[in-house]
Structure 1
Amino acid sequence: MKNFKLITAFVIISVLGVFTVNAQTETKLGGFLAYGTEIENVGIGVNAEFPIMDKLTIAPSFIYYLPKEEGFIKVNWFEFNANANYYFMDEESIAVYGIGGLNYSSVKVSYDGDNPFLGENYSSSEGRIGLNLGAGANFNIGSKIEPFAELKYVIIDGGQLVIAAGIKYKL
């Protein structure tokens, strides 16, 4: 139920961002693959980009990292991001932006089975709030589909570098 509330809040924030669109810039929706250095695993993500003023966009995203097993322990991790992208270079073929924002990461560790130290079943989860700092680039290929790449560091317990690449669709 806790995760449902977070997803609902994320959707509401994203929808509200549509109403702040500046006619000079396009709203974008996309998907991507990411790699997180703390979890050491690949994630699948969705993102959006809503312009709010010249050179500034609100860019919410969600990343679900593939479940990981380390011995008899299972790890599940996902993150919500509420970023602002500032475009400091916007040429015909490439647009480069800085990333700053908030991160919410949820990590669940579980064990199902019989172990003399852990017992039969064990599960624990934790939510953490952090800050995102990074940079990205959109590549204009002359269509409504726009490839992009991002590199951000999540300032959180343990920290995590996230490398992402995917496509955005211009609405």
Structure 2
Amino acid sequence: MKRKILVVIALFVCSFAWSQDQKKIGGFLAYGTEVESLGIGVNAEFPIADSKFSIAPNFIFYFPKEEFGIKSTIWELNANANYYFSSTESASFYGVGGLNYTQVKVKGETFFGDFSASEGSIGLNLGAGVNFNLGKSFAPFAELKYTIGDFDQLVLAGGLKFNF
């Protein structure tokens, strides 16, 4: 896990060196279809040189759920690349591809005592998104991605990206 976090940090550092374009950081709400829960997330976007590509890491924490005395906590870390394929004055459309790491932890009680278990899995992200260009220092966005792996799910997200 530490190695994965170091890779994401290295991508952040490299992207600063590669680009003079506008970098973005923001927050969003997300809904995962398999976890059936709302989540809160943070994201960043770092353009690569003068290309249509950007590095776009994000983190989503899904609100914990408790059912039948079992509490589940789920979060995901994504290392994505966005490819901007179309832009107008009002919107920029992009494709999403990248790696996903999902961590699930459950705990609860039984007649035999307390129990706790956790599992992590790596997957692939595929999706699309749109930034709405308002001519401000921020841009609303919407994104739809599907994660392929042990924790397959469709994630719908929307929020704001701030320029810096």
Fold conserved between structures, TM > 0.5: yes
Counterparts of residues 1-171 of structure 1 (less than 5 Å): 7=5, 9-21=7-19, 23=20, 25-53=21-49, 54-111=51-108, 113=109, 115-116=110-111, 119-171=112-164
| Contact map agreement 1:20 1:50 (CA 8 A) in 2 | no
Deviating more after overlay: 64-73 vs 130-139 = 64-73
Per-residue CA deviations over 1:76-101 (Å, capped at 9, x if unaligned) read 00000000100000111100000000
- Provide structure 2 residue ranges, at least 5 long, that are not aligned to the other structure: none
The offset of 1:6, in angstroms, is 5.0
| Contact map agreement 1:41 1:66 (CA 8 A) in 2 | yes
Per-residue CA deviations over 1:1-46 (Å, capped at 9, x if unaligned) read x5x665555344323322222x3x3110010000001110011100
Letter in 2 for 1:134: G
Per-residue CA deviations over 1:45-71 (Å, capped at 9, x if unaligned) read 000000114110000000011111111
Percent identity (aligned): 54
Counterparts of 1:33 and 1:101, CA distance in 2? 20
The alignment yields a C-alpha RMSD, in angstroms, of 1.6
| Contact map agreement 2:11 2:55 (CA 8 A) in 1 | no
Counterparts of 2:11 and 2:105, CA distance in 1? 25
| Contact map agreement 1:135 1:152 (CA 8 A) in 2 | yes
Counterparts of 2:151 and 2:91, CA distance in 1? 33
Instruction: Classify the secondary structure of the residue corresponding to 1:10.
Output: helix
Letter in 1 for 2:92: A
The offset of 1:170, in angstroms, is 0.8
TM-score when normalising by structure 1: 0.89
| Contact map agreement 1:65 1:78 (CA 8 A) in 2 | yes
| Contact map agreement 2:121 2:151 (CA 8 A) in 1 | no
Letter in 2 for 1:19: A
Instruction: Classify the secondary structure of the residue corresponding to 2:15.
Output: helix
